[in-house]
A = this chain, B = another copy of it.
Amino acid sequence: MSMLAIGTVGLDYIETPDLSASGVLGGTLTFIALAARHFSSRIGLVAVIGRDFSDEHWAWFRDPAFDRSGVQIEKNLDTFAWGARYDATLNDRVTLYTHINALEAFEPRVPEAYRGPGVVALGNLDPNNQLKTLNQLSPSAYIVCDTMNLWMNTALEQVHEVIARVDCLIINDSEARQLGESSNLISAAHRILGMGPRVLVIKKAEHGAQLFAEGGVFCVPAVPLASIVDPTGAGDAFLGGFAGSLSAAGSHGFEALQRAVVYGTVMASFCVEELGPGRLSQVEAAEIRERFAILKVMMEFPDMGGQ
């Protein structure tokens, strides 16, 4: 089944203790799309780009799965640009700059073909644009939504308005603590589930991810990686793998959600292995299956023994 993906497309400057690079393709939609294409054969993309978005950048979206008719092109503005510096742990970063540029003119327009009952990956984006998108969708669409602390700090009311209308919220652990107003993640999760979404996924980076749904709670560890190059986009790749897997399953039942969490985790693990979407764009199906199997083995549960 076809799916819809909305988010930002940006040109990033990334600095880590080991590298620095500018003009790196980034933005939430980029990572979502490059992860989701392994699961869905038709993905409608909704985003905005600017005059500096080159053929070289377009080349990343060459996959025939991508329908780019929903990508708005602003001829008088540059593409959204973001720069960040990671610390030595790669767990923390400072934003060096955020140039909104073309994002300011963004008027998300969902192509007619994608307004129906499919899965929607509503990537991290100004909640006002998330709301404009939601207003164009069928009530039968299955919305998987991401957001971030920036919007909780600056537009909390709109964030609440968005999450009350989505089926599944995917955020990281610090965002969950902030949104759920509790340092206890389980307590925060329960509160967030009271805000509207029936499903919550908390991403915990190296500690894996946790699914909270009516069918139960499910945990998956991160794929063990002894070295990480660039964490940018890992959360978006998670969302892309998750939403793509759900779309392919054609179900939102608990087992489909569990599987989606595992595929989200797997896609995030590829994302961090190279700068920007470098590794993600090269992933092959056999590698995805291999990492799925690694996680399965890591979670094989012992019997209770004689105790």
Contacts and interface: CB of A to CB of B under 8 A. Distances in A.
Contact of A207 (B204, B256, B292, B302): B204
A132 interface: no
Contact of A219 (B256, B289, B298): B298
Given A207-B207, A248-B306, A258-B302, A184 B228 contact: yes
A299 interface: yes
A149 B187 CA distance: 29
Interface in A177-215: 183-187, 190, 204, 206-208, 210
Contacts of A300: 218, 258, 301
Contacts of A245: 305, 307
Contact of A297 (B216, B224, B226, B263): B216
Contacts of A142: none
A296 to B, nearest CB: 5
Nearest to A38: B307
Interface residues of A, number: 54
A298 B213 CA distance: 12
Contact of A183 (B90, B217, B224, B249): B90
A259 B90 contact: no
A255 interface: yes
Nearest to A89: B183
A274 to B, nearest CB: 16
A86 to B, nearest CB: 11
A226 B190 contact: yes
Nearest to A294: B217
Among A186, A227, A263, residue most surrounded by chain B Cβ atoms (within 10 Å): A186
A91 interface: yes
Contacts of A184: 206, 225-228
Nearest to A303: B259
A88 interface: yes
B298 A39 contact: no
A125 B118 CA distance: 58
Contacts of A255: 302-303
A70 B245 CA distance: 58
A146 to B, nearest CB: 21
A224 B186 contact: yes
A4 interface: no
Given A38-B307, A307-B288, A226 B296 contact: no
A265 B182 CA distance: 22
A52 to B, nearest CB: 35
A289 B303 CA distance: 11
A221 interface: yes
Interface string A255-280: 11011001100000000000000000
